[in-house]
Homo-oligomer: A and B are copies of this chain.
């Protein structure tokens, strides 16, 4: 009767940051496994998503949108370019910059990734019902927005045109 020899100390079980780290590790595994099956990592998905939504932009902007360091953006874009999912061309208007754009293949690929990522979300949130999921996610958004402001410049946390009471689904 003691297979349950493992049990985190109560103090940790009540510490949100510890719980978050545990859960984030699980989440990374679930998402990571799926993306790995298509040969990419999570940053590639973030980059493709930003480009798909906002259109072509410089690597620096890409980094700001995805919260990635400039140096990491360099690596990610290089890998995506190799796969033909994006193009990277010098900006004639500002010769410091590269203009990064998604290709058709990139857009299609991103759709496939999105499905896999969506699956992972369901697995992650499995124990929560609909209402709990919404409250949980809302709290996450609130906190991420709050802490992002401290470092970054933007105030995207309270963005117009996205208040959705019902938040139905698409």
Contact = CB atoms under 8 A, between A and B. Distances in A.
A46 B18 contact: yes
Nearest to A54: B9
B156 A6 contact: yes
> A-side binding surface: helix, strand, loop or mixed?
helix
Contact of A8 (B3, B20, B50, B153): B50
A17 B31 contact: yes
Interface string A131-170: 1110111011111111110001111100100100000001
Interface stretch (A70-78, A84-92, A122-130): A122-130
A156 B20 contact: no
15 contacts: A3-B154, A4-B155, A5-B64, A6-B64, A6-B154, A7-B154, A8-B66, A15-B117, A17-B30, A17-B120, A17-B124, A19-B137, A20-B27, A126-B146, A128-B143
Interface of A: 3-24, 26-28, 30-31, 42, 46, 49-50, 52-54, 61, 64-67, 114, 117, 120-121, 124-129, 131-133, 135-137, 139-148, 152-156, 159, 162, 170
